Amino acid sequence: MADINNIAKQFTDFYYSTFDSDRSSLGSLYRAESMLTWEGAPIAGSAAIVEKLTSLPFSKVQHKVTTLDAQPSAPSVASLIVSVTGLLVVDDSTNPLQFSQIFQLIPDGSSYYVYNDIFRLNYG
């Protein structure tokens, strides 16, 4: 399990660092068959996902991961499910938003790509 947690940590560090600095560079992590559900709205395909992420209504963002959990997602393939919770600081706001995000990562050579991505802000 340590390997899975290490992969999940490396992936999320890279994903959120890239998201926070240049969302348009996230396209390489998705494929044509990838799916994103953003606040309940389904989006399919790498190009459409990047279009959604780059059109979000803020210019500056910082993710602060609070929890990170990972599990294998298939017995025959080295895929994994990654669950993340944290805080989202948007445009230097003093009131961070709580978020949760789930990724299903599929092996692709010596790396992984995002097959499923589910994002939600947590209110309350």
pLDDT per residue rounded down to tens, the chain (124 residues): 558 999 999 999 999 999 999 999 999 999 999 999 999 999 999 999 999 999 999 989 999 999 999 999 988 888 999 999 999 999 988 999 999 999 999 999 989 999 999 999 998 7
Alpha-carbon gap, residue 122 to 51, rounded angstroms: 23
pLDDT of the residue at 115: 98
pLDDT of the residue at 87: 97
3-state secondary structure of 110: coil
Alpha-carbon gap, residue 17 to 56, rounded angstroms: 17
Q: Over the Cα atoms of the chain, what is R_g?
A: 14
